[in-house]
Chains A and B, each alone.
Chain A
Amino acid sequence: MIGIYLELACLPAGRGFGDWNLRYNMALLIIDIVISGLISGSVFALLAIGFSLIFGVARIVNIAHTAFYMVAAYCIYVVTHKMGFHPIWAMVIAIILVTLLGIICYKLFINPIREHEGAVLIATIALAMAFQEVMGLIFTGTYLSVPKLINGYHVILGVKVFYQQILTFCVALLIMGVLWVLLTKTKLGLAIRSTAQDREVANLMGINEARVAMMTMGVSVGLAALTGAVVVPLTVLEPHMWMHPLIMMMAVVVLGGLGSLKGSFLGAYILGFAEALVVFLAPMGAFLKGSVALSIMILVLLIRPEGLFGVYFEEER
């Protein structure tokens, strides 16, 4: 694709050859779609990986996952605006605080009812709503913003891309790499994978399954906070900001296969590209980008009910 661009970029747009002009514009359109898709997909991937991790290990459907992302965003706002710290410190503080908050919430609200998946689902919805109301009371519904870690933009093949978006893309890749190392090269990873495969057998083998679940919850919420830290400078803070990402995140994990990290990663980019396609090919229907992405998810599920890399459904059969 880049080859096509380079070949065509040598030709001026207004050369007069209708065919070349058409091809040139097509190449630009494809570049736009690819770059926008990669950026959106990275945001979805960051959110979905954490959610998928805790589901895969502890079978906890944590609806409050994006609410933790929202709390991290407000933490960063307070630390940068009210306390005057550099955004990088705000990021670190937010990740630590939100991770602790996640662990406390797990111990108090989730662990006692863990065996009842329906109850966990409802408890985490309530938790998310509680966070929303608390943030609403403290900060009202006023739209706020936080500073970027890196200001400015870079022009990639004619498309202006924020440095912060490039950072998001890199962080998504980095997180996947770190998680792969954690899961495959460490004892904790071994424990997590064992627990994910069979909790009872893992318990019998001497693994403290409850502790592994708590640690995974910490990692998962920490990832939500990290996502908040890298994504929120690109968006607007308000107490309901967790809802839309939640829908897209759920779509990604269902499309990729519940509990599958690689499925989540791939699903995120599929939906990211679907959104970009809608915006560029049907600008009048840009508001439908979310709906189209969800429709793609439904289509995939009709063909492959367990999702692309389903774990959960396979086990149930």
Chain B
Amino acid sequence: MERWKKRIFVLAMAFLFAVSSLTVASGQDTIKIGVIGPMKFVQGIGHWNGATMAAEEINAKGGIQVGPRKMKVELVQADSNEFLSITDATTAMERLIARDKVHFVVGGFRTEAVLAMQDIAMENKKIFIGVGAAHDELCLRVAKDYKTYKYWFRGSPFNSSFLGRTSFIHLGTVGAILRHSLNIPKVKVAIAAEKAEWTEPMIKAAETAIPGMGMEAVGVWRPSAVATDVTAELSAIQRSEAHIIFTIFSASVGIPFARQAGELKIPAVQVGINVEAQKDGFWGATRGMGNYVATMNTYARGVESNELTKAFVDTYVKRFGETPTYTADTYSAIVHGLATTIEQAGTLDPDKLVPIHETRVYKSPSGTVAYLKDAEGRHLHELRWGPGFLTALGVQWQDGELKAFWPNKWKATPEAPEVTYKGMVPYKIPPWMVEKFKK
């Protein structure tokens, strides 16, 4: 009897081993992509939606050709909860790599969390395409320690320095419109920046750039990133007699700021970066008081950066009922980035994929992607900015719709060709500004 018990036990163990081996074997027929982000928030939802669209599109075509066989894409969601806890973010990344055994990771949003998650991915030699964080340091690490950080690539948006440069162009554009339309000889600019690491270099750059553009910087106001009442700041800005408020907001403060400024009819236009204003929900969240707020953005309905934009935006809107924001660029990171690189390499080996991916130049719905090297010729895996590559858009809320006003006959240098994307509309000055300044 004891012998039979032992035999049954051994057989059962052998059966379990066989089943688990089969499961692992069948798992190897898919490419596992971890999608990491704050999944309870719009940013994480964008990550997941973009990746879902990518996986559906690839799998509908039979999968990705990896050498002799086609492999389907399997997504694994990880909630980083990074707005509240960096520890949660690193745990989520550990789980993706150790338990879910993903081949690649896309996503991440908050720089502080992405820096920590990047280290874990790099230690495990996992290609991590960042879709959300803009801090330059993420890519500088690649140049400083290529062997360790070569598995990191920036997917979206381009870095803080380029974000700053683009937003200054928007500021200059709006400043010129005010000067000419309202006959304001010297345009005054108030800088409103949330208290966050990424805004520090932008504030310094803005204080230098504004006088250089023939405008006057009248002060810097720095509300908390999660401030819910900014009426005091707005009163002070109004007292400064600013004509433009140059906003540098990525957090929730962008909503009360825009809403209260609109309700109080502060006679100053808002331009710069307001991440909350990039979302369809902004109109409802500000109860329509965010009208005329302008911000940098990646996508807008009816605007085409290239021939891929319309199909992506239309499908996304049809599938998810809202305009994609830049965190939905997990789509292009997978479809136009990873999938093609894997097919070219014919393998999932990250060490073979990196040299191919870093030299590729390819089109994505937001523009042409190419990776930069630093002044010493070292790889940065940083996105190239400028005409013909990625530029982003200048968008403005106009009566409930997000319209793009830039680039419209934009010349990066006097000799450069004009850049105009399809679907541009003129910038609108709020009527209370016109009423106050038009003579």
Contact = CB atoms under 8 A, between A and B. Distances in A.
A284 B236 CA distance: 12
B7 interface: no
Contacts of B276: 143
Interface stretch (B21-29, B36-44, B349-357, B367-375): B36-44
B233 A283 contact: yes
B231 A32 contact: no
A236 B231 CA distance: 14
Given A234-B228, A236-B285, A244-B228, A145 B259 contact: yes
Interface string A133-147: 000100011111101
Given A234-B229, A284-B222, A28 B286 contact: no
A241 interface: yes
A285 interface: yes
B141 interface: no
Interface residues of A, number: 42
Interface string A273-284: 001100110011
Given A284-B222, A286-B223, A287-B223, A145 B232 contact: no
Interface string B244-274: 0000000010011001100111000000000
B224 A143 contact: no
Interface stretch (A106-114, A157-165, A299-307, A309-317): A157-165
A287 B222 contact: yes
Contacts of B310: none
Interface string A247-286: 0000000000000000000000000000110011001111
Interface in A25-58: 28-29, 32, 36, 39-40, 43
B287 interface: yes
A290 interface: yes
Contact of B231 (A39, A142, A283, A285): A39
A186 B285 CA distance: 43
B252 A143 contact: yes
Given A236-B228, A286-B223, A144 B40 contact: no
Given A143-B285, A238-B252, A280 B236 contact: yes
Nearest to A285: B222
A147 B225 CA distance: 23
A153 interface: yes
A145 B23 CA distance: 48
6 contacts: A43-B229, A144-B285, A159-B235, A283-B220, A283-B236, A287-B194
